[in-house]
């Protein structure tokens, strides 16, 4: 696998530190959701504005009923989210120790401080896992290759979501837009200008449920899977070409087409559809759900002079918060 970017914050001298730090960021799928699990390409964007930082240190207390690791998640995460993250973290820490040859079971304190809302299709679970893996590597003074980091994050993703394509595990550590296909990634050529507006619907989705819903739909009609995958691959290819050739209008149209593909498969919601229509009505070049579906976020492409109107209409349609990702900034990273 070709994996982008170098690993940050890993000790090169193998000395154990008192505190280890790891960082990662959010991601959005431009096109290719769900189809990527079946082997078709996907286009993915890093979202550097939304980050998570993990710090890992030594606990002064011995292991207790919670085992050999104490976990704190800052912010307003729900009890269910914290419980799930804590359980996943223990499995991830055990996998790290086994993979990296860390002896014993030292009691650790891990703090996760992030701005990525969970269940929104923004890769929060993958970003959390990557940040924690890097923090543990930093703490134990272990050199960590990108392939090993990916493998550990992907293991956690398979537990969280079921069968995971790997696109999230790669993109939460990337610095430029990516084409992801059958376990390999490469940086995309970006010739477009414009802004991506990401709008949170305020409703968490479920990738696992969405994957199962799509699979059930494929099972009811023999030709449904092939039809869905062929259309998805066509739209991804055309969007990749538009992105490289500097045609934001064509890119936006392919985004909207992909939303219709996902909505027809039952993966959108009434609020998401309303937000998509609001963005288009305000002058967005294209808009779609991003991520697994059944909730989450809308991704809209717009020109800078329309950004205020598009963001305003998204809020009027139900968005609880929005973020702006300049395409030129991503393009600069791709150079």
Residue 100 corresponds to which tokens in the numbers above? Answer: 């990296």
Of 141, 134, 140, 137, the closest CA to residue 12 belongs to 141
* DSSP symbols for 72-121: EE-SS--HHHHHHHHHHHHHHHHHHHHHHT--S---EEEEEEE---TTSS
Could you report the per-residue pLDDT of 168-222, keeping only the tens digit for each? 999 999 999 999 999 899 999 999 889 999 999 999 998 889 999 999 999 999 9
Q: Residue 103 pLDDT > 70, yes or no?
A: yes
Q: What is the mean pLDDT of the chain?
A: 88
Those residues with Cβ within 8 angstroms of residue 267's Cβ, 6 or more apart along the chain or in another chain: 33, 34, 210, 213, 214, 289, 292, 293, 294
Cβ–Cβ under 8 Å, residues 291 and 28:
yes
> According to the model, what pLDDT value does residue 227 have?
97
Could you report the per-residue pLDDT of 238-247, keeping only the tens digit for each? 999 999 999 9
Cβ–Cβ under 8 Å, residues 132 and 89:
yes
Residue 239 corresponds to which tokens in the numbers above? Answer: 């969007």
The C-alpha angle 12, 13, 18, rounded to 5 degrees, equals 95
For residues 314 and 80, the model is more confident at 314
Q: Residue 9 pLDDT > 80, yes or no?
A: no
Could you report the per-residue pLDDT of 245-290, keeping only the tens digit for each? 999 999 999 999 999 999 999 999 999 999 999 999 999 999 999 9
> According to the model, what pLDDT value does residue 90 have?
82
What is the average per-residue pLDDT within 119-146? 94
> According to the model, what pLDDT value does residue 61 have?
57
Could you report the per-residue pLDDT of 22-73, keeping only the tens digit for each? 999 999 999 999 999 999 999 999 999 999 999 999 876 544 445 578 888 8
Cβ–Cβ under 8 Å, residues 198 and 299:
yes
Confidence of residue 105 (pLDDT cuts 50, 70, 90): confident
pLDDT over 70 percentage in the chain: 88
Cβ–Cβ under 8 Å, residues 107 and 70:
yes
């Amino acid at each position: 696998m070709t994996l982008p970017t170098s690993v940050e914050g890993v000790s090169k001298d193998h000395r154990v530190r008192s505190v280890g730090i790891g960082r990662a960021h959010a991601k959005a799928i431009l096109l290719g959701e769900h189809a990527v699990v079946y082997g078709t390409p996907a286009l993915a964007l890093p979202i550097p504005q939304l980050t998570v930082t993990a710090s890992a240190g030594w606990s002064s207390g011995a292991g207790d009923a919670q085992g050999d690791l104490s976990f704190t998640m800052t912010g307003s995460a729900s009890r269910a989210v914290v419980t799930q993250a804590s359980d996943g973290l223990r499995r991830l820490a055990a996998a790290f120790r086994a993979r990296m040859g860390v002896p014993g079971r030292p009691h650790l304190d891990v703090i996760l401080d992030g701005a990525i809302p969970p269940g929104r299709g923004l890769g929060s679970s993958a970003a959390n896992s990557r940040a924690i893996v890097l923090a543990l590597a930093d703490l134990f003074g272990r050199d960590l290759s990108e392939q090993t980091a990916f493998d550990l994050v992907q293991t956690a993703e398979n537990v969280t979501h079921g069968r995971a394509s790997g696109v999230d595990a790669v993109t939460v550590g990337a610095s430029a837009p990516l084409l992801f296909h059958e376990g390999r990634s490469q940086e995309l050529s970006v010739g477009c200008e414009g802004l991506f507006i990401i709008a949170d619907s305020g409703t968490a989705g479920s990738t696992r449920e969405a994957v199962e819903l799509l699979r059930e739909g494929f099972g009811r009609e023999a030709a449904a899977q092939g039809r869905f995958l062929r259309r998805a691959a066509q739209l991804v290819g055309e969007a990749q070409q538009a992105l490289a050739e500097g045609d934001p209008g064509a890119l936006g149209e392919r985004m909207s087409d992909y939303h219709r593909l996902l909505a027809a498969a039952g993966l959108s919601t009434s609020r998401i559809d309303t937000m998509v229509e609001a963005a288009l009505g305000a002058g967005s070049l294209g808009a779609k759900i991003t991520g697994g579906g059944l909730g989450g976020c809308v991704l809209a492409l717009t020109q800078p002079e329309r950004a205020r109107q598009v963001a305003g209409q998204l809020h009027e349609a139900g968005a609880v918060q929005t973020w702006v990702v300049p395409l030129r900034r991503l393009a600069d990273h791709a150079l």
